[in-house]
Amino acid sequence: MIQGNSANIDLSNLWLNKAKAYVELLKMRLSLLVSFSSAFGYALAMGGQVDWQQLAMLFVGGYLISGASCTINQVLEKDYDKLMKRTSTRPLPTNRLTSSEAIWFATIVGLLGLVVLYQWTNMLTVGLAVLSMILYSFVYTPLKRVGPIAVFVGAIPGALPPLLGWTAATAAISHEALIIFGIQFIWQFPHFWAIAWVADEDYKKAGFKLLPVEGQKDLKTAFQIMTYTLFLIPLGLLPAYFGLTGINSAVVVTICGVLFLASTIKLMQDQSRKSALRIMFGSFLYLPIVQIALLLDMVK
């Protein structure tokens, strides 16, 4: 009887560990950020008068699509993840899951996400979701070992979530939709490059080439980061200029942009890892603060 209970406990622990590994594949924090950005685009397009059921399904669909893309990314980079400290404990490098298990999981999760979007949004949104998966999983991922062009390609699926939210609400791509896409697109560059600066030694072990110019942590790279961050200030004012939001959000966005820019100027001065870390964490704060400010100040 005791042996039977012990076997049941071992089996339960096995399935629990498997379930935890599958959840890890989804990269919860990244996928939640994708879902939040989609919800932001939807709410902005609806002027705050949202269909909560549709919004919830958009959130779920976006989460599943992002999770499937992240899983495919990990399948393709399994051998490289083993080489890097920050990724060596993921489910595939540690053999907690096999590649075939991860592929089946990505297929099921991705199809489920597309079905949810098809049922609750429209074909334009579904098409953009498919484009996002393809670009992230099968174009951006292999390009990471080719050169910094990967950052440009990766910025496209990275900026699509708010656009998907907008099209889910309107079934159309308007100039307002392109503005919120543009803000998140430009934001990707200082965000990506700050991470690449901080994780440069790890990335080099896997052969990833993400830093711009000559791929060095120097003044030229810091200048590139500063330049793209500078563009965020006028871009962030466009929603107010076109009457999508009001003056209050314009003030918040400008303050955030200036503070973000100041951190990049500091990197130009000392080219230190500490300054790059400050930019990285600042980028994590910038986007949600700006999006929330735009939502709270939208013109109904």
How much is the mean pLDDT over the chain? 93
Residue 119's pLDDT is 97
Give a yes or no: residue 86 inside a domain.
yes
Q: Are 112 and 74 in contact (CB under 8 A)?
A: no
Residue 1 is assigned to a structural domain of this protein: no
Residues 199, 122 within the same domain? no
Give the pLDDT score at 54: 97
Same domain, yes or no, for 167 and 218?
Answer: no
Question: For the chain, what percent of residues have pLDDT higher than 90?
Answer: 89
Domain span including residue 275: 174-300
The answer to whether residue 172 scores a pLDDT higher than 70 is yes
Task: Let me know the angle formed at the C-alpha of 179 by 189 and 134, rounded to the nearest 5 degrees.
Answer: 60
Residue 6 lies in a domain: no
Does residue 73 lie in a domain region? yes
**Co-location of 68 and 200 in the same domain:** no
Instruction: Say whether both 159 and 292 belong to one domain.
Output: no
Q: Which of 21-25, 108-112, 145-149, 174-178 has the lowest mean pLDDT?
A: 145-149
Residue 14 lies in a domain: no
Confidence of residue 300 (pLDDT cuts 50, 70, 90): low
Q: What is the DSSP string of 36-81?
A: HHHHHHHHHHTTT---HHHHHHHHHHHHHHHHHHHHHHHHHTHHHH
CA distance 178 to 187: 14
Q: Are residues 158 and 179 in the same domain?
A: no
Would you say residue 10 has pLDDT above 70? Answer: no
pLDDT at 12 over 90: no
Domain boundary among 139, 173, 207: 173
Angle subtended by helix axes 123-134 and 99-120, to nearest 10: 160
For the residues 94-109, what does the mean pLDDT come to? 96
Q: How many domains does the chain have?
A: 2
Q: Is the residue at 2 inside a domain?
A: no
In this structure, are 52 and 124 located in the same domain? yes
For 20-70, what is each residue's pLDDT tens digit?
A: 999 999 999 999 999 999 999 999 999 878 999 999 999 999 999 999 999
Same domain, yes or no: 255 and 266 = yes
Contact 36, 165 (CB under 8 A): no
Q: Which of 125, 146, 173 is the last residue of a domain?
A: 173
Q: Among residues 173, 198, 226, which one ends one of the domains?
A: 173
pLDDT of amino acid 277 = 96
Q: Which band of pLDDT confidence, cut at 50, 70 and 90, is reported for residue 5?
A: low
> What CATH code is carried by the domain that includes residue 41?
1.10.357.140
Q: What is the band of 6 on the pLDDT scale with cuts at 50, 70, 90? A: low
Residues 94, 194, single domain; the answer is no
CA atoms of 229 and 253, how far apart (whole Å)? 12
Sign for the pseudo-dihedral over CA of 92, 95, 100, 104? negative
5 falls within a domain:
no
Same domain, 67 and 187: no
Confidence of residue 14 (pLDDT cuts 50, 70, 90): confident
Round to whole Å and give the CA distance between 68 and 62. Answer: 10
Asked if 41 and 131 sit in the same domain, the reply is: yes
